[in-house]
Amino acid sequence: MTIEQCRQEFADARVARLATVNAAGAPHLVPVTFAVIDTVPTDSAAPLVVFAVDHKPKATTALRRLDNIAANPRVAFLVDRYDDDWDRLWWVRADANAAVIDGEYRLRAIAALRAKYPQYELVAPHGVVVGAAVHRWSGWRSTA
């Protein structure tokens, strides 16, 4: 897959798996809803994969993924399509550096999440918003 194909398949996916590691190197993997926004040309020009702590029920808002990102900002996202017709299989991974975002990027992230998910139109994410600057796209498709 080309980088552009990877970016498009990734952006169109409905859910990603977010991989983080804690300070001791133990992995943590969770599904996340997300959106992709572009950064301004004066930045690194890397797209941001954004996700938020939202209103879905949680035991706490002190989430392990946030602690892990604070300890080690390197993250990976994986989206994929499985089908019993194996000619339709594909996956895309985005390797990135993540951080909590505020200001203009937080507002843009929430707007992108609301545009992608109807559930966020009803209740906008109100918690922490994370932006992950993608530095590497990789992907595979079973057929060219």
Q: Domain locations in the chain? A: 3-141
- How far is 83 from 81, CA to CA, in rounded Å? 7
Average pLDDT over residues 40-69: 76
* Residue 127, pLDDT score: 86
pLDDT bin (cut points 50, 70, 90) of residue 57 is low
* Residue 9, pLDDT score: 95
* Residue 38, pLDDT score: 84
Domain covering 3-141 assigned CATH 3.60.110.10 in the classification: no
pTM of structure: 0.89
- Computed over every residue of the chain, the mean pLDDT equals 90
* Residue 14, pLDDT score: 96
Residue with tokens 């843009």: 108
**CB distance 113 to 52 below 8 Å:** yes
- How far is 72 from 88, CA to CA, in rounded Å? 35
CA angle 7, 51, 68 (to 5 degrees): 105
* Residue 82, pLDDT score: 92
Q: What percent of the chain has pLDDT over 90?
A: 75
